[in-house]
Structure 1
Amino acid sequence: MTPYDLLVSPFVEFEFMRRALVGIFALSLGAGPVGVFLMLRRMSLTGDAMAHAILPGAAIGFLVSGLDLAAMTIGGLAAGLLVAVGAGVVARATEIKEDASMAAFYLVSLALGVMIVSLKGSNVDLLHVLFGTVLGLDDPTLLLVAGIASLTLVTLAFIWRPLVLECVDPTFLASVSRAGGVSHIIFLALVVMNLVGGFHALGTLLSVGLMMLPAATARFWVRDLTALVVVATVIAFVAGVAGLLISYYVGAPSGPAIILVAGAAYAVSVVFGPAGGVLSRLMPRRHLEA
């Protein structure tokens, strides 16, 4: 069997594989850059919490209209933004820290969402919500994911400088501009939108994986911010393609296969990555070399 037969033929022969490939490409374009900024802002677990937070809104949309794209998308967006704002308000109005507040909101949201879906739907519906159906993407879902990716890239281009400054020196940014707070809110909205897009393909439990694992993997190979964004996006796309091929040949679930490939890339990078990997830290450095 030639490399063409192994790597290209499934996407040429089957339309559902081509749709999944387009969906993964769009998800990678949006999730890659957002994941890098989540990592640099030490908000990785916040992204995970917000991924679970969209579940009750999507579940209510499911309760009202079944597996309807518009209802579940609107519900997920509303729930994600509500949890993000609610956790921030609780953290500022009480003595509890924001990470603990977010954890409380996400645990309640996850339980509530699973309960709602379980009450009306079947086990198949619950699996669809939790793990997505990347091999069953239709045209409206592809347009939604592509629209979110396009909006993400355009918005990041406008708020790039305040986002970078807030990652490096938030105190300085606060002293010279008020753009930090606005950019933070816009960035959280982008996180929620990309999680909702990923939710339709990978489900609420795995959508954050394509956002955070490529970003963490890229950090072991490059240090420049622009390179980080590019490498994270490429890793997300390659992991998606590899996961789809594994799913096609082995019969494994596509969403978990994609995330496991991304996890394997992360594990390899932890050991062999030249920018802070285990082996690079064990190797002797030249005198006065950083």
Structure 2
Amino acid sequence: MFTTAVITPTRKYCGRFAPSPSGPLHFGSLVAAVGSYLDAKANQGKWLVRIEDIDITRVVKGADTDILNTLQAYSLHWDENVVYQTQRLDLYQDVVNSLHNKNLIYACSCSRKQIKAIGGIYQGHCKNLHQDITHSALRLSQSFATNQFNDLIQGDINVNNAFAAEDYIIKRSDGLFAYQLVVVIDDIDQGITRIVRGADLIEPTVRQISLFKQLNSPVPQFAHLPLAVAKPGFKLSKQNYAPAICKQNPKPVLIDVFAFLGLAVHSQLMDLNIEQLLAWGVNNFSLNQVPNLAEIQI
């Protein structure tokens, strides 16, 4: 699946929303959910939901169910079965094994403290030491380093060359697979053609693009929505204890999300039920209307 190039210039649109189950959805995460949903449906595409629970140290019990119930309350209905990353470990290991067989990964014993002391970017210290990979962190040898891409909302993006070219970790020393690896494998496996998500993930996108190329797979389009922030530089997040969104009365919140995404909302929208309101959003949504800003204060 990951070794043969697939030439599909007219692939049918497939998008996704991929929350981590570390707490309930807040306004900022709903923006990502609604933005990705509207773009998929406005393009007659599929919209998938993936629970990104690969980092089990951050998982909050019951958060996945709460997230799915919230999406249902907002009439955000997914088109295929929900995928959980922790149910796909064999797939990730198969890809790691394939990369290992091609001499594209190596063991690294450098600590975060050591890397921070040299400026925060790993310099390849362990690359030629041929250390045992059994209980070590595994780094990917960059073969297609990418430092720029065109974002459908934010425009031309350029990222620090050193960051883009770094041999980054794809499997941690504790045995957990890294987000940068699994998110790309998932997107390939699910046939994702466009990724609509928050602007906090702009920088890591260059690494994901390079991995798509390294796995000889089509690179999706990317569209990064503005972040909802409480104050400049302070995004709404579960870690910052952003309040959960209301499930019982979703219409006012959904209209606020529409306005955030640049739709021309009006008072008559409150007369619609939640399904009609979402259909109005699909009919009126365009990425061209989304403010090309990294963040918006709410």
TM-score, length-normalised on structure 2? 0.27
- Give the structure with the higher percent helix: 1
- Give the structure with the higher percent strand: 2
TM-score, length-normalised on structure 1? 0.27
